[in-house]
Amino acid sequence: MPSTVYEEEPEPPAGDDADSVEALLVRVADGDKDAFTGVYEALARPVMGLACRILRDPAQAEEVTQEVMVEVWRTACRYRPERGSAKGWVFTLAHRRAVDRVRHAQAAAQRERRAGAVLAGREHDEVAEAVEDDDERRRAQECMARLARMYRVPLALAYYQGLTYVEVAAALSAPAGTVKSRMRTGLRLLRDCLEAR
pLDDT band at 192 (very low <50, low <70, confident <90, very high): confident
Side chain identity at residue 77, one-letter code: C
Q: CB within 8 A of 182, min separation 6: which ones?
A: 150, 151, 154
Give the pLDDT band (50/70/90) at residue 13: very low
How is 70-81 classified by DSSP, letter by letter?
HHHHHHGGG--G
The class level of CATH for 133-196 reads: mainly alpha
pLDDT of 162 strictly over 70: yes
CB atoms within 10 A of CB 67: 17
Work out the pLDDT band at 89, boundaries 50, 70, 90: very high
Task: Outline which parts of the chain fall under CATH 1.10.1740.10.
Answer: 18-116
CB-based burial of residue 191 (10 Å sphere; 0-12 exposed, 13-18 middle, 19+ buried)?
exposed
Q: Of the ranges 62-76, 122-136, 182-196, which is most confident?
A: 62-76
pLDDT of residue 121: 54
Rounded distance between C-alpha atoms, residue 118 and residue 132, angstroms: 19
pLDDT computed for residue 133 by the predictor: 72
Q: In the chain, which segments carry CATH 1.10.10.10? A: 133-196
What fold, for 18-116? Rna Polymerase Sigma Factor; Chain: A (1.10.1740)
pLDDT in the model for residue 41:
95
Q: What is the mean pLDDT of residues 126-133?
A: 68
Q: Per-residue pLDDT averaged across 172-181, rounded?
A: 89
| pTM exceeds 0.85 | no
pLDDT more than 70, % of the chain: 81
Ramachandran class of 56: left when φ > 0, alpha when ψ lies in -120 to 50, beta otherwise? left
Average pLDDT over residues 71-84: 90
Pairwise pLDDT comparison (170 vs 66), residue with the higher score: 66
- Say how many C-beta atoms besides its own lie within 10 A of residue 2's C-beta: 6
pLDDT tens figures, 110-129: 777 777 665 565 555 666 66
Q: How far apart are CA 179 and CA 143, in angstroms?
A: 20
The pLDDT of residue 118 is 59
Q: Is the pLDDT score of 74 beyond 50?
A: yes
Residue 90 CA to residue 29 CA, distance in Å, equals 14
Map residue 45 onto helix, strand or coil: helix
